[in-house]
Amino acid sequence: MAVDLTKTDSFELGAIRQLFPALSVSGPTGKPWVYLDGPGGTQVPASVAESISQAILFANANRGASFATSQAVDAIMSRAGQAAAALLGVDSPDRVVFGQNMTSLAFHAADAIIPTLKPGDEVVVSNLDHDANVAPWVHAAQRSGATVRRLDFNRQNMTLSPAQLADTIGPKTRLIAFTAASNALGSLTPVPELVRVARTSPALVIVDGTHYAPHLLPKVDEWDVDLFFCSAYKFFGPHVGLMAGKLEVLNRLQPAKVRPACNLLPVRWMTGTQNHEGIAGVTAAIEYLASLGNGESLRQKLVAAYHRIADHERELMEVFLHRLGSQQAWTLTGVQVPDPSRRVATFALRGPVDPATASRKLAEKGICSYAGNFYALPVTEALGLESKGGFLRVGAVHYNTVDEIHRLWDELQALKA
Ligand SMILES: Cc1ncc(COP(=O)(O)O)c(C=O)c1O
């Protein structure tokens, strides 16, 4: 029986929260900490920690030998590939690469892309992105002599426009990188429409799903994306990066590798010995998510689970935006409607207190938040806020409660300049 997420603060949400040991740790006021730092990294269910612990205690070997612990590692990697393929929506585990984190995987891919670029080629990056989906491609352009073009975001709806992308690309465009969701403003981008436009050029289409995957289920194949990145610590797992790609792309590009390492997918992209225990934790995180939904296959369970997650997060967004609208001191940069097709529950605020001070004062009240640019440097630069401390960012995920959103607003309203 799947857990019912649709009733906020219901017994079911209580049951979910009990799976996350950190959620019952008391903060400085004696009440449990309120984790609104999800965009910077989510808490994990105990099952994730147990999987990591089991793997490192009892499956601690390198791969490919005939003894039991080595075979157990092979099984961990194979299961993780299957689970991640189901989460990302790709048809084969051969197309899923694990790595240190999203940023390292993107730089690794960028280095493999450099020889495919030449002077005169164009690389398009967006101003809505985390720098991890900008800097690697700019690096590739700089090393190859290609030209970088910037796709700005629309200041009304804080997202990327397919029409503007169409104006930015042409026959010389070789790479287009954009995010599926902004980790600063919470906006979703119209991925299918952007990809459709991108396909009118010969470019490689790269999507960062790091901020998308905790809230909505990626559809890498359906979206027709060439390379897709995300990071498990943002979706209730450990610090492991993931990259999914088209077979043709992953086979055609030549990643840097040591000579004895296998040249077959996905291993040809995975430098050195992997963090096997962390990767066991990724499987546990995906299985946890799947446990929130009913269905035959892992993918079907994930589809159902993410519907429930979106329903609950819509309610959190409604309460957040209602409280926002009932005061004047704090202003939001981002979509002001609680529509899960347009935004996730990540909010960028500015108010009477500078973001860093506000975040520190919230911490004193037991509320976790972040201040600054969150490495979404193009966003704060584009909005002229980089020299002004950026934003106070609060981000809810499915384990957060309506009560916590009220606690946040009560504290925000008590903050005076
Ligand atoms: C949208 C987005 N992309 C990329 C990254 C980088 O991920 P990682 O820390 O795994 O390198 C982050 C991390 O904050 C992010 O939020």
pLDDT, tens digit (0-9, with 9 covering 90-100), for 164-199: 999 999 999 999 999 999 999 999 999 999 999 999
Contacts 24+ apart (CB under 8 A), 387-390: 388/354, 389/354, 389/355, 389/356, 390/184, 390/355
Q: How far apart are CA 350 and CA 184, in angstroms?
A: 12
pLDDT digits (tens, 9 = 90+) for 41-54: 999 999 999 999 99
* Domain hosting residue 369, numbered range: 11-42+298-414
Does residue 130's CB lie within 6 angstroms of at least one atom of ligand 1? Answer: yes
Residues 284 and 382 in one domain: no
Structure tokens at 412: 């925000």
**Residue 152 Cα to ligand 1 middle (Å):** 20
Classify residue 257: in a domain, yes or no: yes
Q: What are phi and psi of 206, to 5 degrees?
A: -120, 125
C-alpha closest to that of 270 among 37, 138, 73? 73
What pLDDT score does 4 carry?
52
Residues 101 and 214 in one domain: yes
Structure tokens that stand for 48 in this block = 């994730």
Please work out whether the CB of residue 210 comes within 6 Å of at least one atom of ligand 1: yes
Which helix or strand (DSSP H or E) is residue 139 part of?
helix 135-144
Assess contact for 305 and 399: CB atoms under 8 A. no
Q: What tokens appear for 324 in the block?
A: 């926002």
Domain boundary residue, one of 268, 289, 310: 289
Q: Considering only CA atoms, which residue is closest to atom 8 of ligand 1?
A: 102
Q: Pairing between strand 370-372 and 96-99?
A: unpaired
Q: How far is the CA of 102 from the centre of ligand 1 (A)?
A: 6
Same domain, 161 and 55: yes
Q: 236 and 267: one domain?
A: yes
Residues 152 and 91 placed together within one structural domain of the fold: yes
User: Which H or E run contains 97?
Assistant: strand 96-99
Dist. CA 25 → ligand 1 center (Å): 26
DSSP state of 59: -
How confident is the model over 99-117, as a mean pLDDT?
Answer: 98
391 assigned to some structural domain:
yes
Kindly indicate the confidence band of residue 2, based on its pLDDT and cuts at 50, 70 and 90. Answer: low
Q: What pLDDT was estimated at residue 1?
A: 46
346 lines ligand 1 (CB under 6 A): no
Collapse the DSSP code of 197 into the 3-class scheme (helix H, G, I; strand E, B; otherwise coil) and give the result.
helix
Q: Say yes or no: 30 and 62 in one domain.
A: no
Question: What is the tally of structural domains in the chain?
Answer: 2
Nearest to 289 by CA among 278, 299, 304, 302: 302
Note the pLDDT of residue 417. 75
* The pair of three-digit structure tokens given for residue 72, joined into one six-digit string: 């157990």
- Measure the CA–CA gap between 114 and 385, rounded to whole angstroms: 32
Distance CA 18, CA 102 (A): 29
- Asked whether residue 138 falls in the same domain as residue 204, the answer is yes
**Of 308, 179, 182, 237, nearest to 42 (Cα)?**
237
Q: 398: closest CA among 122, 88, 20? A: 20
CATH of the domain at 196: 3.40.640.10
Pocket test for ligand 1, best of 97, 210, 397 (most atoms within 8 A of CB): 210
Spacing, Cα 262 to ligand 1 middle (Å) = 28
Query: Among candidates 102, 191, 158, 205, which has minimal Cα distance to 347?
Result: 158
Nearest of 153, 131, 179 to residue 375 by alpha carbon: 131
Does 243 share its domain with 339? no
Q: Is the dihedral of CA 404, 410, 413, 416 positive or negative?
A: negative
Bridge partners for 245 per DSSP:
227
Helix (H, G, I), strand (E, B) or coil at 4: coil
Q: Do 218 and 321 sit in the same domain of this protein? A: no
Using the 3D structure, point to which of 289, 311, 332 is the last residue of a domain.
289
- E strands along 241-345, which residues? 241-245, 331-332
Residue 9 has pLDDT above 80, yes or no: no
pLDDT exceeds 70 at position 382: yes
Query: How far is Cα 242 from Cα 106, in angstroms, rounded to an integer?
Result: 10
Three-state SS for 413? Answer: helix
**Distance separating alpha carbons of residues 180 and 113, to the nearest angstrom:** 21
Tell me, yes or no, whether 37 and 55 share the same domain. Answer: no
Residue 374 Cα to ligand 1 midpoint, Å, equals 9
Cα four-point dihedral sign 347, 351, 355, 360: negative
Alpha carbon 403 to its chain's center: 25
pLDDT bucket at 61, cuts 50 / 70 / 90? very high
Q: Does residue 37 have its Cβ closer than 6 Å to ligand 1?
A: no
Task: Give the pLDDT of residue 7.
Answer: 47
Are residues 74 and 175 both part of a single domain?
yes
How far is 115 from 109, CA to CA, in rounded Å?
A: 11
pTM of the model: 0.97
192 lies in the same domain as 75: yes
